Amino acid sequence: MFSIVWRFFPGPAWFRVIVLFALLAALVYALMMFIYPWVNTVIPEPESTLDDASALQRVNPLAGLRL
Domain ranges of the chain: 2-43
Nearest in space to 20 (alpha carbons), one of 42, 1, 48, 45: 1
pLDDT in tens, 1-33: 678 877 888 889 899 899 889 999 999 999 999
Which residue type does 3 have? Answer: S
First-to-last alpha carbon distance for the chain, in angstroms, is: 56
pTM over 0.85: no
Q: What are phi and psi of 28, to 5 degrees?
A: -65, -40
Instruction: Give me the pLDDT at residue 51, please.
Output: 55
d(CA 7, CA 2): 9
58 sits in which H/E element: helix 53-59
